[in-house]
Amino acid sequence: MKKTIGRKVVLILVMVLSLPFFLNQNLAITSAATTPSFNKTKVSLAGKGKTYQLTVKDQVAKSTYKWSTSNAKVAKVSSKGLVTAVDKGTAKIKCKITYPNKKTKTLTCTVTVTIPSEQIKIANAVEVNGAHKLTVGQSFDFQCEILPANTSDVAYWSIGGGDESCIRIDDANEGKVTALKEGKVILLATGVKKATAANAATSYVRDAIIIEVTGQTATVRSAEFTGSTEIKVVFDSPVNRDTVITSNNKLSDNITILMKKDSKGVMASDPGALTASLSADGQTLTITSTNRFNGQYGITFSNKIITTAGVALQEYTKLITYTDNVPPTILGVDMDDSGMVATIRFSEAVDITNLQVPSVTLVQGSTSTTDPVTMNTLQNKYNYILSQDKKSMTIDLSKISSLDYGKKYSVTFAGIKDLAGNAPASYTLTTVLYTDTSVKSQAVPISLIRSGHKTLTATFTRSISYGGIAILDNGSVLTGTVDSTNNRKVIYTLNDSDVTLSGTRVVTLSNWDSYNVNPNDNTAANGRKFNVDFTIEKTSPVFGYEYDPATNILTLNFNEDVKLLASSGVFSSSIKTATDDIINATNVTYTRIADLNDPRVVKLQLGNMNLAGSYTITIDQGFAVDNFDNPSLARTIQLSNTNGGSKELPGPYSVTQSQSNLSQIYLEFANKLDLASAQNVANYTIPGVNIVSAQVTKNSTDGATVVLTVGDIDVTVERPIKISGVLGYNGSYSAISGFEKVIPLKDNKKPTFISSTFDTASRNVIRLNFNEQIQGSLKVKVTQVSGGSSIEIPNNVTVSGSCASVNLDFTPEKGSFLRIEVVTNNLTDMNGNAAVLSTTGVVANY
């Protein structure tokens, strides 16, 4: 017993003596458990050299602290946590804490350094009498410079005074403005941290420019020769293409170029026929002659030339002189995709009547031997073919020996001169010719369309040597033929049984081949599938016409590619002579003039028009047919062999029903339209369809879009649309007469809800019945109402035929009313017309 008491006493003493130790341990644990932290986890410093003292809160005694930065180019930190800004950007400042027990903790603070702007300057303003000038409708993109160069500030553009309605700021961040009306206004550029009006209001870093907006002008800035067959004209505003160029790219009568005598009495040479092209921005007109200019000319621009904004050009006349004394040079050599046909390009049109090839030598680095066949080919001047515009000549190098493929030859030409007779100073020109048989990737088909009644046409990325085959989804196999006028196209002729196919068909192209293809390239073997619309185009081709009484040439300008059924024949006509005699039932003969440059243009040499007067000529239906064998419509035209001709507005090249709104039909014209006639509903008819409105939504030199809004279309069926009376802009074209195109028009009537019925057999199905077949999905809320209580019945909806079936999760109470509320309605008919369904109900009778 004494031993037991003694042991207890000893144990108590040990515990008392150990108490301070445990108390100290608890204090250490408590201290370690306290979490140190930064006084801030995000710091912003505005300006280089700015500082901030980071401190660690709740530090643990006897811990060590190591400071670091993630980007010393943005911010640096001292061993005491003093952060200093270096340059704009973001850096992570870290402090690694090591506790007495060797455990660690890392604190992180994000430091953002900004460099405020000190100066801003508008850089590209052009001041005239203290203001930057803009014309009404003109846009300008102002630029600015912000200092210092490393500033983090950006520019904010705003109006600082004057008439605010003069301009519109299109982009306050970029400085793009558009002039709206005449007057003066101040444009401000402000250096700000963020591009907002609030920040700009508190910033004193600003620059300003006065903008003076003037009315639109229309003048010729310059008209100069740029070559022996070319004049370049620059307008100060975009001009309407139809007022400077005719439908067949001839120079408009609104611009005249007259031959003049120089100071020595020498008359300028006849430039021949003049064609023209207009730049994409509508401000640069390039006039090209078939013969060379030489001497003095008077060029005049009439006020019938109109800008795209409708402003008439100020009449302009200038004497321009061209004396060509610059000889031609060789600009370079282009190879076709076969690597065998070389095209030598000249700096201007040339005359090679006296062409010679005095020297052909191997270029250093090629093997020393050459087959005589190669030398004879390169030295034979008749192997060099001059282009139609006389600005290049080609040679087919496939005639040289295959042993010499890839070798380079220096070829010297003599006897080449320009059309003014200027020859190179040395009388010779030298270039390098070679074949290119290097391995290339296989050509890839990029499109496949039904191009005609009996043809499909594929377009490839490179020239094709073999057309391969086309396999239709019905199993027919068609062999391709490379288009003789464009070897990047392949034509596949449909079988007699395939011409009747319609709708979208899957066609697979395979086994075509290009030139110098890598033998490991399996692109053609693998084939490529296309979804091809086989719908036959049913639009009859229409045309405008021009007549030259001096040559008796009638030019028909069709709206699509055509071919004549007969190249010669007679037109029936009547004549009203200059002495008012009327002669009926006369025949005017015609013969087509060969011109393969444009399959839309038909030139006819007319005969038996000996009497002076007005001829009324009937061109019968089917005089020409398009690629789908659609016959041209019959029409009567009037020609005067004393006055000139006429131009009719070509019909729309595309007529389509909108897929997103079946009540809209889009007409796409290639020419600008007269607004009044284009928006006259009476000029459009569609049998069985009421046309509510005609709205021009686009009207420019690039073409016009007319949107017809129509009433109900009861049934999906092909219908003809007829257009007459629509004029070209500003008299550029006379009214369309007799345009007709057959297009498929889908039903645009919304599905009508008829009734809701309760299925007494199943007792848990409600049927929502419509007047036509529907598709899509529907979600509804079904509430059972019985007595004074109601309960929602879970359900799902299935759609089949003309019915949406609401499938209830349980059988409703007999005789209760079931209220059906629409949650989401995605029901449409088969043409995509949205169904209208509102809250309805049914009684659960069973």
Strand duo 635-640 + 601-607: pairing? unpaired
What pLDDT was estimated at residue 715? 78
What residue has token string 């092209």? 277
- Which of 400, 403, 411 is closest to 369 using CA atoms? 403
Phi, psi at 775, each rounded to 5°: -150, 170
Angle at 619 between CA 613 and CA 625, to 5 degrees: 150
Number of C-beta neighbours around residue 611 at 10 A:
15
Q: How confident is the model at residue 175 (pLDDT cuts 50, 70, 90)?
A: very high
- Which of 613, 620, 612 is closest to 569 using CA atoms? 620
Q: How far, in Å, CA of 680 to CA of 695, rounded?
A: 9
Number of C-beta neighbours around residue 235 at 10 A:
26
What residue has token string 């070319």? 230
**Fold category of 654-745 in CATH:** Immunoglobulin-like (2.60.40)
3 state DSSP class of 431: strand
CA dihedral defined by 573, 578, 581, 583, rounded to 10 degrees? -10
Least confident range from 175-179, 333-337, 425-429: namely 425-429
On whether the CB atoms of residues 208 and 159 are closer than 8 A, the answer is no
Q: How confident is the model at residue 596 (pLDDT cuts 50, 70, 90)?
A: low
- Which of 375, 374, 340, 342 is closest to 359 using CA atoms? 375
Give per-residue pLDDT as tens, 97-117: 999 999 999 999 999 999 999
Q: How far, in Å, CA of 177 to CA of 140, rounded?
A: 6
| Residue 4 clears pLDDT 60, i.e. is over it | no
Average pLDDT over residues 228-232: 91
**Fold category of 445-533 in CATH:** Immunoglobulin-like (2.60.40)
* Overall CATH class of domain 543-640: mainly beta
Average pLDDT over residues 826-843: 90
User: Is the pLDDT higher at 227 or at 782?
Assistant: 782
| Residue 3 clears pLDDT 80, i.e. is over it | no
Give per-residue pLDDT as tens, 343-378: 999 998 899 998 999 899 988 765 668 899 999 999
What residue has token string 């033998």? 519
Q: Which letter does DSSP use for residue 494 in this model?
A: P
CA dihedral defined by 47, 51, 57, 62, rounded to 10 degrees? 140
Average pLDDT of the residues of the chain: 88
What pLDDT was estimated at residue 22? 43
Q: Do domains 37-114 and 543-640 have the same CATH topology?
A: yes
**Fold category of 119-214 in CATH:** Immunoglobulin-like (2.60.40)
Q: What is the DSSP string of 323-373?
A: ---PPP-EEEEEE-TTS-EEEEEESS-EE-TT-EEEEEEEPBTB-S---HH
On whether the CB atoms of residues 424 and 346 are closer than 8 A, the answer is no
Q: Which letter does DSSP use for residue 651 in this model?
A: P
3 state DSSP class of 749: coil
Domain residue extents for the chain: 1-33, 37-114, 119-214, 220-322, 330-433, 445-533, 543-640, 654-745, 753-843
Strands of the sheet with 75-77, listed across from one edge: 51-53, 82-85, 75-77
Structural tokens at position 654: 């595309």
- Secondary structure, 3-state, 659-686: CCCCCEEEEEECCCECHHHHCCHHHEEE
**In sequence order, what are the beta bridge partners of 289?**
274
- In terms of Cβ atoms closer than 10 Å to its own Cβ (0-12, 13-18, 19+), residue 538 is middle
Give per-residue pLDDT as tens, 513-558: 999 999 999 999 999 999 999 988 888 888 878 888 877 889 888 8
What pLDDT was estimated at residue 559? 81
What pLDDT was estimated at residue 646? 46
CATH no. for 220-322: 2.60.40.1220
CATH no. for 753-843: 2.60.40.1220
Q: What is the DSSP string of 709-740?
A: EE----S-EEEEEEE-SPPBGGGSSBPP-SEE
| Residue 19 clears pLDDT 50, i.e. is over it | no
What residue has token string 């087919």? 396
What residue has token string 């008077």? 298
What pLDDT was estimated at residue 731? 77
- 307-332: buried (b, 16+ CB within 10 Å) or exposed (e) per residue? bbeebebeebeeebebebeebbebee
3 state DSSP class of 289: strand
Please check whether the domain covering 37-114 is classified as CATH 2.60.40.1080.
Answer: yes
Q: How far, in Å, CA of 815 to CA of 817, rounded?
A: 7
What pLDDT was estimated at residue 507? 96
What pLDDT was estimated at residue 236? 87
What residue has token string 């005095």? 358
Q: How confident is the model at residue 9 (pLDDT cuts 50, 70, 90)?
A: very low
What pLDDT was estimated at residue 13? 44
| Residue 149 clears pLDDT 70, i.e. is over it | yes
Give per-residue pLDDT as tens, 30-81: 444 568 999 999 999 999 999 999 999 999 999 999 999 999 999 999 999 9
Q: Which letter does DSSP use for residue 650 in this model?
A: P
Q: How confident is the model at residue 29 (pLDDT cuts 50, 70, 90)?
A: very low
3 state DSSP class of 811: coil
Q: What is the DSSP string of 612-634?
A: -EEEEEEE-TTSEEETT-PBPPP
Angstrom distances, CA of residue 396 to CA of 343, 344, 375, 450, 577? 9, 12, 13, 33, 56
Q: How far, in Å, CA of 415 to CA of 350, rounded?
A: 10
Average pLDDT over residues 784-789: 87
By residue count, the chain amounts to 846
CATH no. for 330-433: 2.60.40.1220
Give per-residue pLDDT as tens, 420-479: 788 898 888 999 999 998 999 999 999 999 999 999 999 999 999 999 999 999 999 999
Average pLDDT over residues 322-348: 92
The predicted model scores a pTM of: 0.47
